[in-house]
Homo-oligomer: A and B are copies of this chain.
Amino acid sequence: MVQLLEVIDVSAGATCCAPLVKEPLSQQDAGRLAVRLKALADPARLRLLSIVASSSDQEACVCDLIKPIGLSQPTVSHHLKVLTAAGFLTRSQRGTWAYYRLIPEALSSVTRMLETA
């Protein structure tokens, strides 16, 4: 499995970098963007993110994520950990279960750099 647990400063991403069609990316900016894209570039993680993101309040209990994804609980937890470390989700524990919520700014900071118009 991909080890990708470096924590990324989302707030820096929010103000950073012109779209790549406007000017060549610096090595540093390209490295940061690549780390985020790697976190997204997995079918199970994209599906998990989309279930969380399209849920009420853009939040979902891990207990509601395992069945639709059809993977084991440890695998789902690993993928959620990668998405959280990359700044796309926050995690909060409430009783038995962990809840994951989308950080929309993290996705926006990626789309801003890839936009063409």
Judge whether A24 and B47 touch: CB under 8 Å: yes
A38 CB contacts on chain B under 8 angstroms:
38, 41
With both chains docked as a complex, state the minimum distance between the C-beta of A54 and any C-beta of chain B, in angstroms.
Answer: 5
With an 8 A cutoff between CB atoms, is A34 at the interface? yes
Determine the main DSSP class of A at the interface with B. helix
Interface residue range, chain A: 35 or more
Q: Which residue of B lies closest to A51 (CB)?
A: B24
A9-29 with Cβ < 8 A to chain B: 20-25, 27
Question: A-side interface residues toward B, CB under 8 Å?
Answer: 20-25, 27, 30-31, 33-34, 37-38, 40-47, 49-51, 53-54, 58, 68, 102, 104, 107-108, 110-111, 114-117
